[in-house]
Structure 1
Amino acid sequence: MPKRILQGVVVSDKQEKTVIVRVERTFLHPLLRKTVRRTKKYHAHDESGAIKVGERVQIQECSPKSKLKRWEIVSEQA
């Protein structure tokens, strides 16, 4: 099964080797037929520690690295 890849914005880099990424998704409300935006935060592994707050990144599923970390940074976007 392929691993999921999500895009989001880094909202916190205070932890060592961990960043928190906010991922936004949009969907059509089933009854109102209106576009709705929802966000979710993911803890992602950043081995180098080079990622800073505000940067757009891609995260990919991985095996569990800690209690909350199930994602890792794949690439940084401009």
Structure 2
Amino acid sequence: MASENLVALLEKVNTDPSFRMELERNPEKVLSKYKLSEVERKAVLSRRTSKLRELDVDIRIAKGWAADNGNKIGHN
């Protein structure tokens, strides 16, 4: 199950364009401000819908950040 911190981060991505851009530009800095498990952190960095779904993230929340094509984008 996704933590409250992960859900909060993904919801902010969906509602705050400047936050999303900052996460794209400097993901490690942004993620350091959120208490995420290593698995959650890797799922966010992968930008893969499948990785977020493995954490039971609601697809409606995940779609704002995840790449729908299933390919890695950016970091591992």
TM-score range, shorter chain: under 0.3
- Name the structure with the higher strand share: 1
Instruction: Pick the structure with more helix per residue.
Output: 2
Give the alignment's TM-score, normalised by structure 1. 0.21
